[in-house]
């Protein structure tokens, strides 16, 4: 649902200019330094990018799902590192509080997240609980007005920069499965919270992950999201449903950039006395990429509109994440192939994007997990 096409057009155009004039020229610097320049982060704050999906009453822009994915198409035209920094605040780093937080929790943290004064992170994955998130082992034991948290979280995006963490922990040791999991907000600097070394990744330099370690970490009971135990896993799944649509939109934007670069290269690179774009096998790769990209974009927009209409889009969100992430990987492979030897050289964006987008098929639910979600939802609907 788009509330005002004119306002959205102005927003997307300003973001498009910022991406192409500021972020794209900085891609190589970020890849080499593994850091987003502070001046660019400050510009992101000024543009309100940290609060795109946070409600207006807490300082955000309150974008609808359709508006958010249309903005994501633009943001993803450049290195995923830029989107990762702001996307976590708008998505999994804040949405647990937005969706299920108490009013006091919203007032306390959302305005600072929306302004970019603080960065949020989402701590669900563990060394022994990735795809099987319901088997997480981190515990939170009530002790008076506090909970004592123990455990380790792994591959946590933005953890090195984060000021607050949405943490999933088991509050009932007598129960297994999802029903014993609760969600907490844990602030950086809390005694007993420490960070591991920053991970060295295949791609997405400038976007940082690391372990988050809890050792007798005392967290005020007031930080239990929603003030209710045992509903944290449901909160996490609601957050991930929304996040999967966002990532699917990011896949579309990244694929559009890669196809744009591949087309320009194919029309400029000459072999056998003509541009390689004139060769039918190159044309086939361009056409297949454009077709799949169009299909993914239509899927994402349709699912976003369904979510804005109040419908349950668990299946559709997984369909979008599965198809768009796999599509993006195929476009990346074709882009390198069209570039030929140049596609294997770091001087060209095709090489970097090939590594960067590989992660899309893994985080916020692997492609295989999306397949399970889709099939199980189908069977559940059939049984009634």
Residues that are catalytic: 364
- Report the distance separating Cα 116 and Cα 288, nearest Å: 39
- Report the distance separating Cα 165 and Cα 199, nearest Å: 18
Q: If you compute the radius of gyration of the chain from its CA atoms, what whole number of angstroms results? A: 21
- Report the distance separating Cα 191 and Cα 188, nearest Å: 9
Q: Region of 214 please: left (phi>0), alpha (psi -120 to 50) or beta.
A: beta
Backbone φ and ψ for 273, nearest 5 degrees, come out as 70, 25
Determine the distance from the C-alpha atom of residue 38 to the mean position of all C-alpha atoms in its chain, rounded to a whole number.
Answer: 21
Contact by Cβ (8 Å): 140, 185: no
Measure the CA dihedral 258/260/263/269, to 10°: -80
Nearest CA-CA partner of 52 in 81, 9, 86, 98: 86
Residue 38's alpha-carbon distances to 97, 172, 232, 250, 290, in angstroms, are: 27, 42, 34, 23, 36
Token couple for 57: 């009453």
Determine the distance from the C-alpha atom of residue 309 to the mean position of all C-alpha atoms in its chain, rounded to a whole number.
Answer: 22
The beta-strand segments (E) located in 160-269 are 164-170, 181-187, 193-195, 209-220
Q: Look at residue 175 and give its three-state secondary structure.
A: coil
Nearest CA-CA partner of 244 in 362, 154, 342: 362
Backbone φ and ψ for 40, nearest 5 degrees, come out as -70, -40
End-to-end CA distance of the chain: 29
């Amino acid at each position: 649902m788009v509330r005002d096409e004119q306002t959205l057009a102005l927003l997307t155009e300003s973001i498009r200019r910022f991406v192409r004039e500021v972020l794209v020229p900085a891609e190589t610097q970020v890849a080499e330094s593994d850091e987003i320049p502070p001046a660019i982060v400050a510009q992101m704050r000024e543009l309100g990018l940290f609060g795109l999906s946070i409600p207006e009453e807490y300082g955000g822009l309150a974008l609808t799902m359709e508006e958010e994915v249309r903005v994501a198409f633009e943001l993803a035209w450049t290195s995923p590192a830029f989107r990762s920094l702001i996307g976590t605040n708008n998505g999994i780093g804040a949405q647990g509080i937005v969706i299920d937080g108490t009013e006091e929790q919203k007032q306390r943290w959302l305005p600072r997240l929306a302004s970019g004064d603080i960065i949020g992170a989402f701590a669900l994955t563990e060394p022994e609980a990735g795809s099987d998130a319901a088997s997480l082992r981190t515990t939170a034991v009530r002790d008076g007005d506090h909970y004592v948290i123990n455990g380790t979280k792994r591959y946590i995006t933005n953890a090195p920069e984060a000021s607050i963490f949405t943490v999933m922990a088991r509050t009932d040791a007598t129960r297994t499965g999802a029903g014993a999991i609760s969600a907490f907000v844990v602030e950086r600097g809390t005694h007993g919270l420490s960070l591991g070394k920053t991970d060295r990744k295949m791609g997405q330099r400038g976007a940082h992950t690391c372990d988050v370690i809890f050792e007798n970490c005392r967290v005020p009971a007031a930080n239990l999201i929603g003030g209710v135990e045992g509903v944290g896993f449901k909160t996490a799944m609601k957050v991930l449903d929304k996040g999967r649509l966002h990532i699917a939109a990011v896949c579309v934007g990244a694929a559009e950039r890669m196809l744009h670069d591949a087309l320009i290269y194919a029309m400029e690179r000459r072999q056998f006395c003509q541009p390689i774009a004139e060769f039918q096998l190159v044309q086939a790769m361009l056409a297949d990429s454009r077709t799949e990209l169009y299909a993914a974009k239509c899927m994402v927009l349709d699912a976003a509109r369904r979510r804005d209409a109040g419908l349950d889009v668990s299946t559709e969100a997984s369909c979008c994440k599965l198809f768009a992430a796999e599509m993006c990987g195929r476009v990346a492979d074709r882009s390198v192939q069209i570039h030929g030897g140049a596609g294997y050289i770091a001087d060209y964006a095709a090489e970097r994007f090939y590594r960067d987008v590989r992660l899309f098929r893994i985080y916020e639910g692997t492609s295989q997990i999306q397949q399970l979600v889709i099939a199980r939802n189908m069977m559940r609907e059939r049984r009634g």
